[in-house]
Amino acid sequence: MNANLYTLFQSRFPQDLDACWLETDEAQYYSWGDLERGSAKIANLFASLNLPQGSRVAVQVEKSPEALMLYLATIRAGLVYLPLNTAYRATEMDYFINNASPAVVVCSPQNFGWITQLAFKSGTGHVFTLDETRQGKNSGSLLSRALHHAEQFETVHKNADELAAILYTSGTTGRSKGAMLSHGNLASNIQVLHEAWQWRADDVLLHALPLFHIHGLFVAAHMALMGGSKTIFLTKFDSAAVLRHLPQSSVFMGVPTYYVRLLSDPAFDAAICANMRLFISGSAPLLTDTFSEFIERTGHTILERYGMSETAMLTSNPVTGARKAGTVGMPLPGVSVRVLNAVDGIGDIQVQGPNVFAGYWQMPEKTAEEFTVDGYFKTGDVGRFDVEGYLSIVGRSKDLIISGGYNVYPKEIESIIDEMKGVMESAVIGLPHADFGEAVIAVIVPQAGAALAQSQIIQQLKTTMANFKVPKRIFFVDALPRNTMGKVQKNILRQQFGES
């Protein structure tokens, strides 16, 4: 059997290939036939380059339907897809290109000059451009070259354990590592999610996430492909565009920031969500306030799930059954999740399953360090199971603060601060301290117009928690630094306040 992931999707395409696959915000329509033919042409172009199987195709382009076709063409052709965040600049790109030595690089036309220099220096043979504006002959060299190729392509045979993609981790500490995901990893995960989220053929996905990250590519885009379902495709998240398309959609996937932004729009209400079946959140913790406010405003309970580049999705709240705020639900079928080295029930989250990656690209020692002797991957997250088997994430083990020999979990303190009057949100970090090793510090974003005082907050916290957990200092800021996926960048806070 051909385990190439594309053949799985192909087996799920609707009978009528003229049916709509993607609809864009500019009312452009792409059929399933367009996807077949478009990906075949690009795959034929790649085949004409005579690249060895398993060659990497590194891609840094803006989001577009063609970018999604490029991804599918790459796996069809038996090559390894390597998506890169569009925010990366020259030093970062130099690292990725050097580390992955891709045979092909695809970039935006405006970056062609400097990327070509980096790529050729690292031995890359081919650099193409893809222009998301897709204006005729300005669509870039990839599509203009692909145009001359045949619109049929026999998807290359792959075994389940052969590589489909490399996802570089966000690298908030140390260098970014390339997580190697096989065709089998991705296929098993999307099949499990398809069941767990009770996907229906008539579901319509509203896609607003970036395509260079696991959430937008291997959860959202894969899900609609697996369902043979229509996607309304937005090139970026924009509240107004989301509100415009929600009435025709049934499933929306977002990072918590998207939900906060939707709620801040007074036009967002239950009537707009009348056709919706499911709102899914992940990639960063969803505040319980957002969870509750969403129910009040729309009548919908956001379904929170948990996963990461190395493992794809691991746990999910149920579609039928209670979705619990502050939890990421239960392990997905076939995925084993355990909490080890627990103190008071809180410990290291470790996982095993057919979805867990094959290791870090060219880092065998790092890979070995991250697996236990009995084959579990150490996620680096810290959490606890409740009596009903729902998992809560307390933080990253690297964010754990050890103050005066005591373990302090930032999430616990953040949850209490977030509940205080006048507080919008907070981040708790550890900073070097002569006496305690690390001192607990809180960074707080006040609500508009709220006057908060450090002494008062500290006083209040002292009444609710052990002294060693109470922040020694509090800083007030207008906003917390976040990456594109909405994760708070605590390394930046540590740097900023470590020097003050």
Smallest gap from residue 391 Cβ to ligand AMP (A):
9
Measured between alpha carbons, how far is 348 from 170 in angstroms, rounded to an integer?
Answer: 20
Q: Which is nearer to ligand AMP, 140 or 380 (CB)?
A: 380
Q: Where are the beta strands (DSSP E) in 115-200?
A: 126-129, 163-168, 178-182
Sign of CA dihedral 477, 483, 487, 490: negative
Site stretch for ligand AMP (CB under 6 A), options 202-210, 302-310, 354-362, 473-481:
302-310
134 Rama class: left (phi>0) / alpha (psi -120 to 50) / beta:
left
- Beta carbon of residue 308, minimum distance to ligand AMP (angstroms, whole number): 3
Residue 309 interacts with ligand AMP (CB under 6 A): yes or no: yes
Is residue 255 within the footprint of ligand AMP (CB under 6 A)?
no
Residue 80 and residue 164: Cα distance in Å, rounded? 5
| Residues in contact with ligand AMP, shown as a per-residue x/- string from 179 to 218 under the rule CB under 6 A | -----------------------------------x----
In the complex with ligand AMP, the residue whose CB is nearer, 78 or 282, is: 282
Q: Phi/psi class of residue 315: alpha, beta or left (left: φ > 0; alpha: ψ in -120 to 50)? A: beta
Q: Nearer to ligand AMP by C-beta: 396 or 473?
A: 396
In the complex with ligand AMP, the residue whose CB is nearer, 211 or 328, is 328
Q: What is the Cα–Cα distance from 244 to 6, expressed in whole angstroms?
A: 31
Q: Does 348 bind ligand AMP (CB under 6 A)?
A: no
Q: Which amino acid is at 76?
A: R
Q: Which of 140, 282, 410, 471 binds ligand AMP (CB under 6 A)?
A: 282
> 129 or 182: whose CB is closer to ligand AMP?
182
The verdict on 283 binding ligand AMP (CB under 6 A) reads: yes
From the list 82-90, 279-287, 400-408, 419-427, the region that binds ligand AMP by CB under 6 A is: 279-287
Residues 135-162: b if buried by 16+ CB within 10 A, e if exposed: eeeebbbbbebbeebeeebebbebebeb
Instruction: Tell me the site size for ligand AMP, rule CB under 6 A.
Output: 17
Q: Which of 302, 298, 296, 259 is nearest to 280 (CA)?
A: 302
Nearer to ligand AMP by Cβ, of 21 and 237: the residue is 237
Minimum distance from CB of 336 to ligand AMP (Å)? 17
Is residue 301 a contact partner of residue 325, using CB atoms and an 8 Å limit?
Answer: no
Residue 396 sits in the site that holds ligand AMP (CB under 6 A): yes
363 Cβ neighbours under 8 A, 6+ residues apart: 177, 178
Can residue 242 be called a binding residue for ligand AMP (CB under 6 A)? no
Distance CA 452, CA 49 (A): 63
β-strand pairing of 178-182 with 163-168? antiparallel
140 belongs to the binding site for ligand AMP (CB under 6 A) = no
Torsion, Cα of 89, 90, 94, 100 (10° steps): 30
In angstroms, what is the minimal distance from the CB of 380 to ligand AMP? 6
- Binds ligand AMP (CB under 6 A): choice among 284, 400, 424, 450: 284
Nearer to ligand AMP, 308 or 417 (CB): 308
**Does 378 participate in binding ligand AMP (rule CB under 6 A)?**
no
Pick from 33, 112, 105, 93: nearest CA to 69: 33
Helix, coil or strand: residue 68: helix
Residues 325-344 that bind ligand AMP (CB under 6 A): 328
Q: Is 393 in the site for ligand AMP (CB under 6 A)?
A: yes
**Binding segment (CB under 6 A) for ligand AMP, from list 137-145, 203-211, 245-253, 303-311:** 303-311
What DSSP state is assigned to residue 139? G
In the shown chain, the binding pattern of residues 468 to 487 toward ligand AMP, with x for contact by CB under 6 A and - for none, equals -----------------x--
CB 397 within 8 A of CB 381: yes
DSSP labels for 20-37?
EEEEETT--EEEHHHHHH
Is residue 133 within 8 Å of residue 63, measured between CB atoms?
no
**Window 151 to 170, contacts with ligand AMP (CB under 6 A):** 169-170
CB of residue 248 vs ligand AMP: minimum separation in angstroms? 27
Q: Which is nearer to ligand AMP, 96 or 306 (CB)?
A: 306
Instruction: Return the residue of 381, 399, 414, 438 that touches ligand AMP, per CB under 6 A.
Output: 381
Minimum distance between the CB of residue 284 and ligand AMP, rounded to whole angstroms?
5
Token digits for 362?
Answer: 């060219």
Which residue from 155, 290, 379, 403 is in contact with ligand AMP, where contact means CB under 6 A? Answer: 379
**Where on the chain is the footprint of ligand AMP (CB under 6 A)?**
169-170, 214, 282-285, 304, 306, 308-309, 328, 379, 381, 393, 396, 485
